[in-house]
């Protein structure tokens, strides 16, 4: 069950001067806003707050002392949930700044001196956007080409890295209701109230979803349930679809530990996924299944990024294919190879702890895969392209970078 302290603030306002801070408090009292507060501080204080607290539904940011306001707002958004609504206050009365802030998703920009009326109007607008927001997190569909290829292990460790190293609010969602084991790797119990909801939906809303989440850490949550093996489970697909849409708004990243079938549940998950991670082994069976899955995704989910990760390479030399032979069967390269370290993986699984917590070669590769999911690898390539062009005309640089980004997008 979600505790009251686990729920997000309705509003948190940061102000660089005591007068503005007091006005925020006055508006909170006037609108009778529960779970809301005003604080003193600027950009760094806001980021420190977001690192240790749930993102509030409405966040008031004071950019009075910011030299690069757009950059600072984007930095704040990196540490925020996708459904946050940001109201900015500051001292610069510039139309260009106002337009730039709106272009990066800010609800409103209020020039000081702050007044109750202006702030109430901005909060009302933010509440309206909250109900109709299209801002969502990223869904990663993780699946094994054959049983035991490591989908659950990868899901858990990438999720842990996202939550702890990148401060992203992350959900692990297990779609195997008969044999799922994601909860064991987090030392959590499966939540059967989750299955009750999916079988007999009454009302699926933000608060009820909070009550069926299992919390592992400050930013890492699990959602899954185990049905009776005899009775099974009959999921209401409309309810499951509504649930998927809700968690996409509540979390920065949703990692789906998926089954290797095309059930109605997995079809919904695929349609909501932003990218796919396929775990493979160097066997003919794995290569065959991977090739078939890639063909299906190209037809059914065309345009979405697919990453291939090889696991247990070298574990069974007698039945293994070479990397070259495997890539020839699937007609594309393997993106990443996990180093063989079965003892570390098994030890971590047995104590219900992500192996990424202990570091090591496996964690290093998971870190790189996580950077890929975050899109950081492409950003590094763009930055490198800029450095290589240093000293040339700026218009030429930007034109080349735009062309470079388009090429990267085509590959993705």
Q: What is the CATH number of the domain that holds 43?
A: 3.40.50.2300
Domain match, 150 and 120 both = no
- 321 and 381 fall within a common domain: no
User: Tokens 């590094």 map to which residue?
Assistant: 380
Q: Domain check: are 283 and 193 in the same one? A: yes
Average pLDDT of each block of 10 consecutive residues along the chain (412 residues)? 62 96 96 94 95 92 94 93 92 91 92 94 84 76 93 95 94 91 89 79 77 89 88 86 90 94 92 96 94 94 93 73 94 92 63 80 92 76 46 41 46 42
Q: Evaluate whether 396 touches 411 at the Cβ level (below 8 Å).
A: no
Same domain assignment for residues 104 and 198: no
Domain boundary among 132, 153, 181: 132
End-to-end CA distance of the chain: 39
Question: Which pLDDT value is given to residue 343?
Answer: 62
> What pLDDT, on a 0 to 100 scale, did the predictor assign at position 399?
45
Tell me the C-alpha distance between 221 and 215, whole Å. 5
Query: What CATH number corresponds to the domain at position 324?
Result: 3.40.50.300
Structure tokens at 186: 């987090």
Residue with tokens 């570390």: 344
Give the model's pLDDT for residue 347.
64
Residues 6+ apart with CB under 8 A from 261: none
Q: What is the pLDDT of residue 273?
A: 96
Kindly give, in sequence order, each residue whose CB lies less than 8 Å from that of residue 50, ignoring residues fewer than 6 positions away.
Answer: 76, 79, 80, 167
Predicted confidence at residue 397, as pLDDT, reads 38
Structural domain count of the chain: 3
Q: Say if residue 212 is in the same domain as residue 286.
A: yes
Question: What pLDDT is stored for residue 166 in this prediction?
Answer: 93
Strands 253-257, 138-144: pairing is parallel
Bridge-based pairing of strands 214-215 and 220-223 is: antiparallel
Q: Are residues 192 and 331 in the same domain?
A: yes
Domain boundary among 109, 132, 155: 132
Give the CA radius of gyration of the chain: 23
**pLDDT for position 285:** 94
**Is residue 370 domain-shared with residue 382, that is, in the same domain?**
no
Q: How far apart are CA 408 and CA 411, in angstroms?
A: 5
Domain that holds residue 77: 4-132
pLDDT attached to residue 386: 40
Same domain, yes or no, for 352 and 394?
Answer: no
Distances (CA, A) of 177 to 143, 152, 381: 15, 14, 41
CA angle 203, 126, 171 (to 5 degrees): 50
Q: Which two tokens stand for residue 309?
A: 């990760």
pTM value is 0.80
* 125 & 151 share domain: no
- What pLDDT does 392 receive? 39
Distances, alpha carbon 410 to alpha carbons 154, 167, 374, 397, 398, in Å: 26, 29, 17, 20, 18
Task: Quote the CA–CA distance of 121 and 209 in Å, as a whole number.
Answer: 30
CB proximity list for 228: less than 8 A, separation 6 or greater: none
One domain for residues 15 and 62: yes
SS3 145: coil
Domain boundary among 78, 102, 132: 132
Please indicate, yes or no, whether residues 80 and 218 belong to a single structural domain of this protein: no
* CA–CA distance, 204 with 392 (Å, rounded to integer): 56
Instruction: Round to whole Å and give the CA distance between 296 and 308.
Output: 15
Q: Do 248 and 174 belong to one domain?
A: yes
């Amino acid at each position: 069950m979600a505790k009251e302290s686990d729920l997000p603030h309705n509003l948190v306002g940061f102000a660089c001067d005591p007068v503005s801070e007091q006005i925020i408090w006055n508006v909170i009292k006037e609108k009778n806003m529960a779970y809301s507060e005003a604080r003193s501080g600027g950009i760094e204080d806001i980021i420190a707050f977001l690192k240790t607290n749930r993102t509030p539904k409405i966040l008031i940011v004071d950019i009075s002392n910011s030299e690069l306001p757009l950059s600072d707002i984007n930095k704040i958004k990196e540490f925020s949930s996708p459904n946050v609504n940001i109201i900015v206050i500051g001292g610069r009365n510039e139309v260009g700044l106002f337009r730039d802030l709106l272009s990066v998703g800010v609800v409103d920009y209020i020039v000081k001196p702050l007044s109750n009326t202006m702030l109430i109007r901005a909060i009302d607008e933010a509440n309206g956007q909250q109900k109709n927001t299209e801002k969502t997190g990223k869904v990663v569909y993780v699946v094994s080409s054959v049983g035991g290829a490591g989908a659950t292990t990868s899901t858990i460790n990438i999720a842990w890295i996202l939550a702890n190293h990148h401060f992203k609010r992350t959900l692990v969602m297990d779609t195997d209701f008969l044999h799922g084991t994601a909860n064991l790797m987090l030392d959590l119990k499966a939540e059967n109230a989750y299955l009750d909801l999916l079988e007999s939906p009454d009302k699926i809303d933000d608060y009820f979803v909070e009550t069926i989440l299992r919390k592992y850490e400050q930013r890492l949550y699990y959602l899954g349930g185990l049905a009776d093996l005899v009775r099974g489970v009959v999921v209401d697909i409309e309810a499951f679809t509504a649930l998927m849409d809700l968690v996409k708004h509540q979390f920065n990243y949703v990692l789906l530990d998926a089954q290797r079938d095309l059930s109605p549940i997995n079809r919904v998950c695929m349609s909501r996924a932003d990218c796919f991670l396929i775990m493979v082994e160097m066997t003919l069976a794995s290569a065959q299944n991977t090739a078939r899955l890639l063909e299906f995704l190209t037809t059914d989910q065309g345009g979405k990024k697919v990453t291939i990760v090889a696991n247990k390479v070298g574990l069974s030399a007698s039945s293994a294919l070479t990397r070259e032979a495997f890539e020839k069967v699937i007609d594309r390269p393997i993106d990443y190879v996990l180093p063989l370290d079965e003892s570390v993986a098994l030890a971590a699984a047995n104590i219900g702890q992500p192996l990424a917590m202990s570091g090591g070669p496996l964690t290093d590769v998971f870190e790189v895969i996580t950077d890929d999911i975050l899109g950081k690898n492409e950003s590094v390539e763009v930055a490198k392209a800029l450095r290589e062009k240093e000293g040339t005309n700026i218009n030429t640089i930007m034109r080349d970078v735009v062309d470079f980004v388009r090429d990267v997008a085509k590959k993705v």
